[in-house]
Amino acid sequence: MKLQESAENYLETIFVLSHRGKQVRSIDIANQLDYSKPSVSIAMKNLRTQGYIDTDQDGYITLTMKGLKIAKSMYERHTLIADWLIFLGVDKDIAVGDACKMEHDMSEESFMAIKKHIEGWKHMIYKQKKGRDV
């Protein structure tokens, strides 16, 4: 079953906030996404019920393994696509916004093809730079 785009955004946001070295609460997510506190509370309840997050008695949110898998995938897609668009000359703010849209709708097959192409291209550039440094 494919998760809704909004749920993927919530999981990715929890992942990003938690990697900034702080514990995550609903208010942090609301502030980051500029959503209302009630909307985030409902979403967190749904994500908890579906097994994507856990919350402790103090309201701190952590991703379950199931949630972490999706969050990492969305984050990888987002950063790779945004970096690629920026390299192609797209303004950073536009690239980040476009990447956010593209990361959810792109098939796994298309994403993996783009990823493979970019990795091959990076390897080629690395070899060229290394050859000049000798």
Residue 1: give its domain's CATH number.
Answer: 1.10.10.10
pLDDT for position 132 = 67
Q: Domain range for residue 122?
A: 1-134
- What single DSSP character describes residue 37? H
- 73 to 8, 32, 88, 90: CA distances (angstroms): 9, 19, 22, 23
Instruction: Say if residues 87 and 99 touch (Cβ distance below 8 Å).
Output: no
Instruction: Say if residues 118 and 125 touch (Cβ distance below 8 Å).
Output: no
pLDDT for position 1 = 45
Instruction: Say if residues 68 and 81 touch (Cβ distance below 8 Å).
Output: no
Give residue 21's region: left, alpha or beta (phi > 0; psi -120 to 50): left
What does the alpha-carbon distance between residue 12 and residue 4 come to, in Å, rounded to a whole number? 12
Mean pLDDT by 10 residues, the chain (134 residues): 81 95 93 94 96 96 97 94 91 94 90 90 80 62
Buried b (16+ CB within 10 A) or exposed e, 50-75: eebbebeeeeebebbeebbebbebbb
Residue 48 contacts by C-beta under 8 Å, 6 or more apart in sequence? 54, 55
Q: How many distinct structural domains can be found in the chain?
A: 1
* Single pTM value for the model: 0.83
